[in-house]
Amino acid sequence: MNFDSKIYVAGHQGMVGSAIVRNLMARGYNNILLRTHDELDLTDQAKVKAFFATEKPDQVYLAAARVGGIYANNTFPAEFIYSNLMIQNNVIHQAYIYGVKKLLILGSSCIYPKNTPQPIPENALLTGALEETNEPYAIAKISGIKMCESYNRQYGVTRGVDYRSIMPTNLYGPGDNYHGLHSHVIPALIKRFHEAKKKQLKEVFVWGTGAQKREFLYVDDLASACIFIMNLDKELHSKFVKPSQSHINVGSGEEVTISDLAYKIAEIVQYNGDIKFDTSQPDGPSQKKIDSTKITELGWKSTVNLENGLKLAYKDYCSNLS
């Protein structure tokens, strides 16, 4: 671990990227390279090429992505697949061209089939059909994993390329997206209950039956896992992955029903009205939890439980209200 290494964090203004920057700085890394979207459009091949040619970073954390919840994935499928493929293709290829030996790409648990064993192991990838609502995004993320694997296989020995992939479970925390239609479940519920409290609404509706189970990971825990995997000894890392199955799951191991989650968030927000479940809306899969055995055996585990994480997320939400 060289604290003077030039480290490029792509997507540093997003929830994951900003958490990685926070964690790198807290650990003493002092040469972090950042570019806003206005400064560097990662879908523009020529601009990405010029950036890598000039800066020549030592490490790259690829956290840049177009992301969103079910509504956004359904409404903008073309933008999701195009933007994410272009970002990945440009960053990974130009990193290789300009001598970057270490790169870490962030994926998503939506890469796994719609119907798969629980908890989901890494080897479930490409064993079945994807969830239709986020298929374009998932295919782009799968392509990113396979692109890294392909560069490792072709250039690992000759060029010293060592590109790694991690697949986090559902994330939440500081920097989350609280858009009314485009957000994921935790930020959506935080916003809904906060506004209901402010308006003194007597009831809040939550989509589905509330019976479905989900796993959530606080984003700063993910950031620590990213840094852990990036700097893991290559020989040790190679014992837990295969050339054509190199991604590693990252989860909290903590599961909760959407119903319990809703009541927990309402309590933290101090909303005292009724919570009702709109059963006309779909639940999605009854359970979604990933198997984090590999990263646990490697020596990493999450440190922020759901209760504390939700309190921190709500505090962040309130601090950013205008």
56 phi-psi bin (left φ>0, alpha ψ -120 to 50, beta other):
left
Beta bridge partners of 7: 32, 59
Q: Which of 8, 96, 112, 137 is catalytic?
A: 137
Q: Give the position of tokens 């519920």.
A: 189
The identity of residue 28, as a single letter, is G
Q: Give the position of tokens 């956004």.
A: 72
Sign, Cα dihedral of 258, 261, 267, 269: negative
151 is catalytic: no
Question: In this structure, are residues 256 and 170 in contact, taking their beta carbons and an 8 Å threshold?
Answer: no
CA–CA separation, 85 and 93 (whole Å): 12
Q: In whole angstroms, what separates CA 252 from the centre of its chain? A: 13
Catalytic residue IDs: 137
